[in-house]
Amino acid sequence: METLRIDVISVIPGFFDSPLEKGLLGIAGKKELVDIRVHNLHDYGIGNYKQVDDSPFGGGAGMILRPEPVFECIEGLLAERSYDAVIFLTPDGEKLDQPTANRLSGLKNLIILCGHYKAVDERIRKKLITMELSVGDIVVSGGEIPALLLMDAVVRLIPGVLGDSESALTDSFQTGMLDSAWYTRPAEFRGMRVPEILMSGDHKKIEEWRSRNALERTVKRRPDLLDGDIIEELKNN
């Protein structure tokens, strides 16, 4: 199987040291299922101080990521190989969801640009970026945390990364709903018992229970994921 390559561009590359060595991303790297390269944007900075940001035209608070370092870095990567997507993580991007993660996991080469400071120069977005993603309606200090979230969501779907190949296929959102409740030993804990059906050995009835439970949890917690007719039908039953 061909290795997924991900090139990450950041002003604080050391942020990724531990996550890329430990946990799922580290395991995937050791198995050579993913090859993640982190590029220090300051290596492409301007002048003796390797400047990558500047104040905004028109005034205003905060600093803006300059276009020159980003163009030099990304164009250098594009000269080496063909990339399936150049991704920018931004609050006003398309919402990252499970279908998007599924699709990205099947690609071969990705670039992820981590924003920083107030914003990036708009010319970067217009000329270089092919996909803009948001991990939620919230602003964080930089794109590094969202980049880790995106990479984890994508890499865990690559066959061979997880110990149980079926695990990722039964996660929340894979079927358009939240996952069902899950239990393990002991069967009774502090007066709380596991539903008897889960210990019955009847796999057909267990799957029916899990499907029903998943639907009920989705109606209660994320009704926006469901068609209105399904919700009404459940209310009437």
Residue 106 labeled ligand binder: no
DSSP for 53-71, written as a single string: EEPPTT--SS-EE-HHHHH
Residue with the two structure tokens 């071969």: 108
Q: Are strands 64-65 and 53-54 parallel, antiparallel or unpaired?
A: antiparallel
The whole-angstrom separation of Cα 138 and Cα 117 is 15
Name the β-bridge partners of 87: 112, 131
Centre a 10 Å sphere on the Cβ of residue 19 and count the other Cβ atoms it contains: 18
The whole-angstrom separation of Cα 158 and Cα 99 is 14
The whole-angstrom separation of Cα 88 and Cα 113 is 5
Token code pair at residue 49: 């101080």
Instruction: Tell me the binding residues for S-adenosyl-L-methionine.
Output: 115
Instruction: Tell me the binding residues.
Output: 115
